[in-house]
Amino acid sequence: MGANEQKETITCTINGVQVEVPKGTRIIEAAEQAGVGIPHYCYHPGLSAPAMCRMCLVEVEGMPKLTPACVTQVADGQVINTESEKARTARTGVLEFYLINHPLDCPICDQAGECKLQDYAAQEGRKHGRFLETKRVFGRDDFGGDILYEGSRCIMCTRCVRFMREVAGDDALGVVQRGNRSVIDTFFDHGLEGSMWAGNIVDICPVGALISKDFLHKARAWDLDRTPSICPNCSQGCNIRIETRDNVVMRLKPRENPDVNAYWMCDYGRHRYEWMNRLDRIEAPLVRDASGKLVATSWQQAVTELVERLSAVRGKAPVYAVGSAMHANEDNGLLARLVEALGGGTLVFRSARAEDEVVCPGFPKLARRCDLAANVRGLEALGFARTGDDEAKGGLSVPAGATLIVLGDALADQPETFGADAGLFVYLGDQLGDAARNADFVLPLTTFAEQEGTFTNFEGRVQRFWPALQAPGLARPAWQILGVALAGLEVVPAPASAADAFLQLGAAFGAFQGLSYEIIGPRGALLNESVKITAGGAEVV
Amino acid sequence: MAYPYRHDKEVRILSAHFGDPAARTLEGWRARGGYEALKKALEMGPDAVIEEVKKSGLRGRGGAGFPTGMKWSFMPKDDGKPHYLLINADESEPGAFKDRELLRWTPHQVIEGALIGGFAIRATHVYIYMRGEFFEPAQIVGRAIEEAYAAGFAGKDIMGSGVDLDITLHIGAGAYICGEETALMNSLEGRRGQPRVKPPFPAAVGAFGMPTTINNVETISTVPHIIKNGGDWYRQWGTEKSPGTKLFNVSGHVVRRGNYELPLGFNLKELIYDVCGGIRDGRSLKAVIPGGSSVPILSADEIDIAMDYESVAAAGSMLGTASVIVMDDRTNIVKQVRRMVEFYAHESCGQCTPCREGTAWLAKILRRIERGEGTEADLDTLLEIGANMTGTTICVLSDSAAAPVASSIRKFRDEYLALIKREARPVAVAAGA
Amino acid sequence: MSVKNPGWAGETGEFSHLTEADVRGTDFVGKRPAEGGHPGGACSYPYMLAEKDPNAPLFEGPYRERLKKILSRYPNRQGALLPTLNLAQEIRGYISPETMEEVARELGLSPAYVRGVATFYTMYNKAPVGRYLVQVCTNVCCNLCGADEVMEAFLEATGTVPGETTEDGMFTVVEAECLGACGFPTVVQINERYFENVDPTEVPAILERLRTEAAASKNGASAPAPGAEGSGEEA
């Protein structure tokens, strides 16, 4: 539809609420606009609709039979009722059919608490079962990769089959057999292990039929805290939820963003969260004392001493700073400003790269990108230059006597002597490796999962994330530490919040000018550059 | 000549050559007036053919009784897309055995009708979808197609008319549901034979995504006769709303089972007692299913009705395929209903939940009742399950499974109660023991 | 009242002068070439045959020709899936996982998809069956006329339970749903042939007839039933 063409809209009434929707809107979507949720299983907004679960049957005035809301387009002036006696009876009836052979093993089912069968049955199912016969039993099947299939729990909505065909582009699942003997299966011993996208079928399974081996019996859904975030594991910037229990990340789940990842995320990103749970963290600021030993101290003392030392070298020594693509724009941005305040210097970062992108066939905007860190594009926009190889190793050459500041890079590949001949070595990080032990200041950082901030994805989209975990010990976000240091150098006032720190970026870096957390909103906002997306990634025009 | 019996009251149009092996060949068929109608149709042009069929009032013989001419007129014109005509030869409705006779005795009658129908809807290709089990008819029709091609009646420039029309026999692999028109399309496309949601209707988006019409074998076999003799000629038989003749396929406990071609509106009682010679072994009648196993059952005192679409519906059942299943007084109604329900459970494609789960549940309850472990409450449950299965699914297989259960409980409740009371265990069962 | 033609257990009613060949149309069909004849009829070959070889190659020689003809009749390769599976079963007697993979490869489909389709249809044998697959209709019309007894008689005469193959590999007896010949109960489909109006007493004679045919076929004589010329044997 051209931009000048007027979009035709129609009006319909759903449960007494009048809504105006574009022509072609399906009843189930129009109902959502009217604030009416229509129960459904087989319908998923990211997939084709087969209208086979029969849960979304609604009464449309003038139609003799109940109508599936997932495939029927609303007509102008239509009056739709989802709560009529007829519609409710049909739903209760359909729910009973779902439950007769269901094992009712909610106490040992991972889906309990976020199960649509449980939810709808509680809402409007029959009070008592009246199925006196022997239940049909299917066993458990290992689909390969991270996926287990519990046949008896399956409600045959075929979302998984359609996902694999339509989105993953790999017709690896099918309905085998027919009638009430139908099950979902792979081709005999072929599994899903080769698929980059199979993990999504666990998310879209409305019941506990498809479950994650990784999450198996690990936590109850109702015990989880869910925090919106951005996947840090490549530069795609998939919108995710970090799901935690007792301050431990249990799993990552995709969160809808039609501009970035639709409803999906890749398995590469999904399964790389254990590092967020590492316990061997730096928990207090360490400052090298007169005897040359690193000694734990308070933040006040550490920052005071840091400002003193920085003031001493300001404008006198070359500065060499290493940023991190796993840290926020705010963190790296304030590092860049600090370098500038010290008289300017070299800004580098190292980041792992995969050889190939893995594009999602059914939603080509989404790919596991080559850059295996979230904020490569952000670092580039802030003036950092990539160095090192594709495994994020090597490439660091610190001039003798330089002021060396490392943020977030664990320096795992560097020798024990790294930074030994620097004039001043400040290390901000979460792990204390051998190379970092040479630092004069070791300052404990939060990971992205423990702080608020933004990442800039491959196409220059700035997206927000929120703290999902409590930081260990005295760990603080880098923007806060560096902000205080900059204030100490009397450059800018210390930012009071991540939002403040972000606004300071806008003042200093053209790419971020005019952006704020409000403007970023739920779908992200593009940097101030025109961006062209190509198959090979983003290209700045 | 019907097969294997005939009766004077028959009007033998479609069935004139049943039992006549010589009519199978192209030569034999032409000697009996075959392919004259195709030639005439090609001269008339597609619109005139549709008009003639409309005039005849011919209604689909696959069960739904939709007017054939009107169905054809839904096909778009000049849309530049390939059109398909599918001939539904998937005859699988328990009780129906008429299409098999048409296919094996008069293959050229089917092919000629298919070519005329294909021409009328501007089809590029006609597929005859025959059920897999019909290997013998398939061999015969396959051979007849070869003959039709060799004679220039199919393929390029048929009969020198400039019209190209291919015809292919496609055989299925064992699935009752493929007789449902959209499931048939899916099956033809190499998919699982699951019915599709309508709309879109086949005339807009059918086989391979193209405009498609589907006609039953019996319907399409009638077309050459209408084209040859005119629509008005066909209306001399039958009723105003249900014109013409129909193959009545009678099975079960009658003396002379078989196919009888009679005018629509023929009396069911007369069909059973006169045409078919009454009930076997001198027994009396208990029940009749008038239109194949999917339609509600009639008790012995309900059979004095005219066998046309409207009258059977008025009597609370359906003409369906006019497949009359006759049951004598020794029949165990519960057992036969259970057997029919087991069939639907076996044949449910499994996509819609009420059908997938409901058919199997009905069968389980009926088996339990048959074992003497039922309760009266089970009858209410059966009726309610049936109600929940009716009108809630994509196709009507679900409704079909529920129909004989509901009608038999209503009309033969005593038989259920007799089984229920045979064993004094209902309390234990009800408690879930 | 009913007139029996003892050769094939069919009730011919008033037409007892018809031979089995007349009714089955054997003369009209004749011997059909393994390469499929005219493409319009190339999908019409029976695929439940006595002669089958589970290890025979698919799609070679005349069968490659037939497959080409089949493919020419559908607007896409997926359309040819059922006819291709039919051809595979005609040659091998059942659809093994390996066969599914070969068919998938041939048609450019995924093996899981082919498995989904193959398992939907009951006529595809997912495991080998005996030389003769005996399918007894027990649905309502046959059931009213004693189909359960006919089923029993077949099981008793073969000494098997449903789905089991006799030790000599001759017979597998299964229950079938309506075969569409309800006027001729009980209907029994044995491989590609229908035996109609079967009553329990005739079962031993039918099995004997099949054994004779099998022996004749092994001695090099051709079986009387129509079918693809040399299908199976040539493969």
CA-nearest of A366, A370, A450 to A408 is A450
Contact between chains at A176 and C116 (C-beta distance less than 8 A):
yes
List of long-range contacts for B66-72, beta carbons under 8 Å, 24+ apart:
B68/B215, B68/B219, B68/B223, B71/B203, B71/B213, B71/B215, B72/B117, B72/B120, B72/B121, B72/B213
CA-nearest of B94, B68, B164, B175 to B123 is B164
Contact between chains at B432 and A97 (C-beta distance less than 8 A):
no
**Exposure string for A406-422, b = 16+ CB within 10 A, e = fewer:** bbbbbbebbeeebbeeb
Q: Give yes or no for C72 touching B (CB within 8 A).
A: no
Contact between chains at A185 and C112 (C-beta distance less than 8 A):
yes
Residues from chain C that touch A176, judged by Cβ atoms under 8 A, are: 115-116, 119
- Centre a 10 Å sphere on the Cβ of residue C175 and count the other Cβ atoms it contains: 18
A140-144 and A174-176 beta bridge pairing: unpaired
B125-130 and B166-171 beta bridge pairing: parallel
For the stretch B111-141, pLDDT in tens is: 999 999 999 999 999 999 999 999 999 999 9
Contact between chains at A186 and C112 (C-beta distance less than 8 A):
yes
First to last CA, chain C: 46
Task: Give CA torsion, residues B226, B229, B234, B235, to 10 deg.
Answer: 120
DSSP B8: T
A57-60 and A67-68 beta bridge pairing: antiparallel
Q: What is the mean pLDDT of residues B132-160?
A: 97
pLDDT number for residue A529:
65
pLDDT number for residue C218:
81
**Amino acid, single-letter form, for residue C94:** Y
pLDDT number for residue C221:
52
Q: What is the mean pLDDT of residues B323-333?
A: 97
Contact by Cβ (8 Å): A227, A466: yes
Q: Which residues contact B196 (CB under 8 A, 6 or more apart)?
A: B182, B183, B185, B186, B394
pLDDT number for residue C219:
75
Q: Residue A178: which of C100, C111, C120 has the nearest Cβ?
A: C120
What is the percent of chain B where pLDDT is above 70?
97
pLDDT number for residue A492:
83
CA-nearest of B128, B153, B149 to B35 is B153
| B74: Cα within 13 Å, side-chain hemisphere | 18
What does the mean pLDDT of chain B come to? 95
User: Residue B294 class from Cβ within 10 Å (0-12 exposed, 13-18 middle, 19+ buried)?
Assistant: buried
User: Residue B243 class from Cβ within 10 Å (0-12 exposed, 13-18 middle, 19+ buried)?
Assistant: buried
Place of tokens 């069960």: B63
**Exposure string for A220-256, b = 16+ CB within 10 A, e = fewer:** ebeebeebebbbbbbbbbbbbbbbbeeeebbbbbbbe
The list of chain A residues with pLDDT below 70 reads 1-6, 529-541
- Pull the structure tokens for residue B407: 């009608």
Residue B408: pLDDT over 70 = yes
Q: Residue C82: which of B133, B172, B343 has the nearest Cβ?
A: B172
pLDDT number for residue C5:
58
- Reported in sequence order, the residue ranges of B53-178 that DSSP labels E, i.e. its strands, are 84-89, 125-130, 166-171
User: Residue A290 class from Cβ within 10 Å (0-12 exposed, 13-18 middle, 19+ buried)?
Assistant: exposed
Phi, psi (5° rounding) for residue B59? -115, 150
Q: What is the C-alpha separation between A287 and A294, in angstroms, rounded?
A: 5
- Pull the structure tokens for residue B244: 């013409």
User: Residue B169 class from Cβ within 10 Å (0-12 exposed, 13-18 middle, 19+ buried)?
Assistant: buried
Task: Give CA torsion, residues A259, A263, A266, A270, to 10 deg.
Answer: 110
Residues from chain A that touch B197, judged by Cβ atoms under 8 A, are: 50-51, 68, 71
Three-class SS state of B140: helix
Contact between chains at C76 and B208 (C-beta distance less than 8 A):
yes
Phi, psi (5° rounding) for residue A189? -90, 5
- Reported in sequence order, the residue ranges of A177-285 that DSSP labels E, i.e. its strands, are 183-185, 210-212, 225-230, 239-245, 248-254
Q: Residue B356: which of A57, A90, A179 has the nearest Cβ?
A: A179
What confidence tier does B2 reach under pLDDT thresholds 50, 70, 90?
low
Query: How is chain C classified by DSSP, letter by letter?
Result: ---EETTTTEE-TT-TT--HHHHHTHHHH-PBPTT-SSGGGTT------S---TTSPSS-THHHHHHHHHHTTSSSTGGGHHHHHHHHHHHHSS--HHHHHHHHHHHT--HHHHHHHHHH-TTS-SS---SEEEEEE-SHHHHHTTHHHHHHHHHHHHT--TTPBPTTS-EEEEEE---S-TTSSSPEEETTEEE-S--GGGHHHHHHHHHHHHHHHHTTPPPSS--BTTTTTT-
Lowest mean pLDDT across A416-420, B84-88, B188-192:
A416-420
Q: What is the C-alpha separation between C103 and C77, in angstroms, rounded?
A: 11
- Bridge partners of residue B290, in order along the sequence: B292
Contact by Cβ (8 Å): B188, B84: no
Residues from chain A that touch C113, judged by Cβ atoms under 8 A, are: 171, 174
Q: What is the C-alpha separation between A449 and A248, in angstroms, rounded?
A: 11
- As a whole number of Å, the CA-based R_g of chain B is 22
**Amino acid, single-letter form, for residue A350:** R
Q: What is the mean pLDDT of each run of 10 residues along chain C (235 residues)?
A: 54 79 92 95 96 95 97 97 98 98 98 98 97 97 97 98 97 97 94 93 93 87 44 36
Query: How is A371-398 classified by DSSP, letter by letter?
Result: B-STTHHHHHHTT-EE-S-TBS-----P
What confidence tier does B422 reach under pLDDT thresholds 50, 70, 90?
low
Peptide bond into B199 cis (omega under 30): yes
Peptide bond into B4 cis (omega under 30): yes
Helix, strand, coil share (%) of chain B residues, nearest 5: 50, 15, 40
Residues from chain A that touch B352, judged by Cβ atoms under 8 A, are: 52-54
pLDDT number for residue C13:
74
Helix locations, A314-452, DSSP H:
329-341, 376-381
For the stretch C173-205, pLDDT in tens is: 999 999 999 999 999 999 999 999 999 999 999
pLDDT number for residue B421:
81
Contact between chains at C182 and B249 (C-beta distance less than 8 A):
yes
pLDDT number for residue C4:
62
Contact between chains at C120 and B170 (C-beta distance less than 8 A):
no
For the stretch B208-241, pLDDT in tens is: 999 999 999 999 999 999 999 999 999 999 999 9
Q: Residue B139: which of C42, C194, C226 has the nearest Cβ?
A: C226
- Reported in sequence order, the residue ranges of A5-113 that DSSP labels E, i.e. its strands, are 9-14, 17-22, 57-60, 67-68, 79-81
Neighbours of chain C (3+ CB pairs under 8 A): A, B
Q: What is the C-alpha separation between C189 and B285, in angstroms, rounded?
A: 30
**Amino acid, single-letter form, for residue C121:** Y
pLDDT number for residue B5:
86
DSSP A13: E
Q: Residue C25: which of B140, B253, B277 has the nearest Cβ?
A: B140
- Pull the structure tokens for residue B76: 């778009």
Q: Which residues contact A327 (CB under 8 A, 6 or more apart)?
A: A375, A407, A408, A445, A448, A453, A478
- Pull the structure tokens for residue C51: 């002669």
Q: How far is CA C143 from CA B331, B418, B432, C97, in A?
A: 10, 21, 32, 35
Q: What is the C-alpha separation between B40 and B37, in angstroms, rounded?
A: 5
Q: What is the mean pLDDT of residues B413-421?
A: 93
Q: Give yes or no for B370 touching A (CB within 8 A).
A: no
Q: What is the C-alpha separation between A322 and A349, in angstroms, rounded?
A: 5
CA-nearest of B354, B364, B373 to B423 is B373
Place of tokens 């003497």: B372
Residue B150 CA, distance from chain mean position: 31
User: Model ipTM?
Assistant: 0.94
Q: Give yes or no for A439 touching B (CB within 8 A).
A: no
Overall residue count recorded for chain A in this entry: 541
Contact by Cβ (8 Å): B142, B154: no
